[in-house]
Amino acid sequence: MKEEKDELAKLREENEQLKRMNQVKSDWISIAAHQLRTTLSAVKWILKMLLDRDFGEITQEQNDFVKKAFASTERMVLLVNEMLSLNHTEDATLNFIFEPHDLTELVEETIFDFTGESHGKGIEIVFLKPDALPPAFPFDKEKIRVVLQNIIENALKYSDRGDKIFVAERIQEGKIEVVVRDTGIGIPDGEQQNIFSKFFRATNAKAKDEIGSGLGLYVTKFIVEKHGGTIGFESKGSEGTTFTFALPTSRT
Amino acid sequence: MKKILIVEDDAFLQGLSAKKLSKEGYSIITASDTPEGLKALEENPDIVLLDLVLPGGDGYMILAALRAKESMKDTPVIIFSNLAEDKDIKKARDLGATDFMIKSNFTLDELAEKVKELIG
């Protein structure tokens, strides 16, 4: 009996220590990100001012190089932002707000937000709206928005001009499924088991030279599972990828 | 000429912002810490670009003082910071900030455009 108590006290203490360590880590990431952003701002602003000829005329060759440097800086800014967002997502483990929302509306909103990007890339996003609209059910709207954004953004990144992306919503027994199908580069067979791991990026994704931190799908899975949902994908060779996630319609 | 107050402790970023905005035809007042920022409010700028992390206090103190001033209660204030946790943005909005821009997400031409949109 006493041993059990000692064991429990020990576990509690270890748990407290882990929480403290996680807090230190989070604070450190916040501070580092703030410092990185300040340094990056200086570089980014100067490069843009050079491109805008605020410091006078530059040659075509100089312009091309500065443009490349500016693009690299933009990537770094994006990575810092993603790092912060992951930090927040992990911090926010206990801060999910489950309230009834209309998932169809959220899907439409999210697709609408990508209009500019998809037009620019010449890719059409088609939403196959369900005939019978699902009723509102409790989920964390902002976090599921991140899930939809990550999956659709991936589909856009790894598709080619002229391709179509299909988004569908399906009502199932006790759950609602969202399916995002693209005809992009697919996920190589040997790498499929790693796709949800932190910092993992598929070799063909890296080769396509798209910006990515390898955090998007990790965060996506984390959020879906916090809802008691499931996420998976199918990808055959280079025929594209279909991501499906399902959310339970009632919270138990 | 419309007057812009830039409150920014990083001398380099302050210099760049001042250069870009004066090129756009604005008159610039700068302040590098909280007391200087508070003092500069006496000049009744038409818009304020406000950093949050500042020596001798912080941007929130300046924002609160500015909103308490009758002549500046409607003056546009753009928070221009790299500190951008949800709680920072909420606090700034609650204190009456007009807009919140994360420095590294914008360039100075975009900032100039924003200023133009707000004060012409």
- Kindly report the CATH number assigned to the domain that includes residue B94: 3.40.50.2300
Interface test with A, best of B6, B24, B104 (most A CBs within 10 A): B104
What residues in chain B have their Cβ under 8 A from chain A's Cβ atoms? 10, 12-13, 16, 19-20, 23, 53, 82-83, 85-86, 102-105, 107-109
Digit-coded pLDDT (tens) for A130-150: 888 888 999 999 889 889 999
- Name the residue range of residue A168's domain: 99-248
Q: Say yes or no: A157 and A109 in one domain.
A: yes
Nearest to A151 by CA among A249, A241, A248, A247: A241
What ipTM was predicted for this assembly?
Answer: 0.86
- Name the residue range of residue B28's domain: 3-119
Residues of B with CB below 8 A from A54's CB? Answer: 19-20, 23
> Which of A24, A59, A94 is where one domain is finished?
A94
Digit-coded pLDDT (tens) for B93-113: 999 999 999 999 999 999 999
DSSP-assigned letters across all residues of A157-195: HT--TT-EEEEEEEEETTEEEEEEE--SS---GGGGGGT
> CB A30 to CB B20 under 8 A?
no
Residue A180: CATH number of its domain: 3.30.565.10
Q: Say yes or no: A200 and A221 in one domain.
A: yes
Distance CA B65, CA B38 (A): 7
Res A243 pLDDT > 60: yes
Q: Say yes or no: A82 and A141 in one domain.
A: no
Digit-coded pLDDT (tens) for A165-182: 999 999 989 999 999 999
Q: Say yes or no: A117 and A193 in one domain.
A: yes
Instruction: Check if the beta carbon of residue B99 is closer than 8 Å to that of residue B78.
Output: yes
Instruction: Report the DSSP pairing between strands B77-81 and B99-102.
Output: parallel
Digit-coded pLDDT (tens) for A35-80: 889 899 999 999 999 999 999 999 999 999 999 999 889 888 888 8
> CB A54 to CB B23 under 8 A?
yes
Helix (H) or strand (E) holding B5, with range, is strand B3-7
% chain A with pLDDT above 90: 42
| pLDDT at B6 (0 to 100) | 97
pTM of the model as a whole = 0.61
Min CA distance, A238 vs chain B (Å)? 35
Helix (H) or strand (E) holding B92, with range, is helix B86-94
Residues of A with CB below 8 A from B16's CB? Answer: 42, 45-46, 49
> CB B16 to CB A49 under 8 A?
yes
> CB B107 to CB A48 under 8 A?
yes
| pLDDT at A142 (0 to 100) | 83
Q: Say yes or no: A200 and A244 in one domain.
A: yes
Q: Say yes or no: A63 and A125 in one domain.
A: no
Digit-coded pLDDT (tens) for A90-109: 665 556 889 999 999 999 99
Q: Say yes or no: A32 and A105 in one domain.
A: no
Name the region of A232 (left: φ>0; alpha: ψ -120 to 50; beta: rest).
Answer: beta
> Which of A43, A61, A94 is where one domain is finished?
A94
Range of lowest pLDDT (A64-73, B12-21, B64-73, B83-92): B83-92
Residue A23: CATH number of its domain: 1.10.287
Number of domains in chain A: 2
Interface test with A, best of B107, B109, B110, B111 (most A CBs within 10 A): B107
> Which of A94, A127, A162 is where one domain is finished?
A94
Q: Say yes or no: A188 and A140 in one domain.
A: yes
Three-state SS at B112: helix
Residues of A with CB below 8 A from B83's CB? Answer: 34
- Quickly list H helices, chain A: 2-51, 60-91, 103-113, 115-121, 141-157, 203-207, 216-226
> CB B16 to CB A42 under 8 A?
yes
Distance CA A125, CA A146 (A): 17
Report chain A's terminal Cα–Cα distance, integer Å: 33
Q: Which two tokens stand for residue A156?
A: 């856009």
Q: Say yes or no: A131 and A80 in one domain.
A: no
Q: For A52, which residue in chain B has the nearest alpha carbon?
A: B109
Number of domains in chain B: 1
